Amino acid sequence: MQKEKDICKLCEKFKEIHTKDGLCNSCYKKVRWKRKMIKCKRCERVMTHHAKGFCPGCYNSIFHIDKVKLHNARRQHNIGQELYKKLVEKCIICDFDKIVEIHHIDHNHKNSLPENLVGLCPNCHKMIHHKKYQTEIFSQLKEKGFSVPQGYEMDGFFSIISQKSQS
């Protein structure tokens, strides 16, 4: 059964008319159709129904988070899925495997060569960007066979601050 074509009363375009009141499908969804409101099973907010009883945000975070992470890694670091999965398997320093972030050893985010990328847990990642702990983390990376940069140089300002924090 083919639907009749006519001019939509709202957008005034020649389209298939899907309703008795003379609206095309697009205009009907915009004006007349009311989406079912539900209480999300996860966040308990009242929002429009998306799928499986979840709001759109919770649905994506439950069922598609791995795909989103892979897409972001490809977009931000220009690396493939296999390399990303290998890097975020566990922290190279402490073997923590719950949350692992990608770190560029030379701090150049445009240099996405595999030998420049390393997986670090949030704690080790924070430490590698902190002057006080950077040499410790760099020495551990050197022991594991990575070539690491010199690190922060001790300047007058930093040495004054570190002396105050030690006392």
Q: At what angle do helices 156-166 and 131-143 cross, to 10 degrees?
A: 100
- pLDDT digit string, tens, across residues 20-31: 778 888 888 888
Which helix (H) or strand (E) segment holds residue 5: the answer is strand 5-7
Q: What value does the mean pLDDT of the chain take?
A: 83
Indicate the range of 43-52, 74-83, 155-164 predicted with least confidence: 155-164
Give the closest residue to 95 by CA, choosing from 127, 69, 128, 119. 119
Cα–Cα distance list, 21 to 10, 13, 14, 42, 122 (Å): 10, 15, 15, 38, 57
| Tens-digit pLDDT profile for residues 71-125 | 888 888 888 888 988 999 999 999 999 999 999 988 888 888 999 999 999 999 9
pLDDT tier, 165 (very low <50, low <70, confident <90, very high otherwise): low
The DSSP call for residue 115 is: G
Read off the tokens for 39.
């209480």
The domain ranges of the chain are: 1-33, 83-152
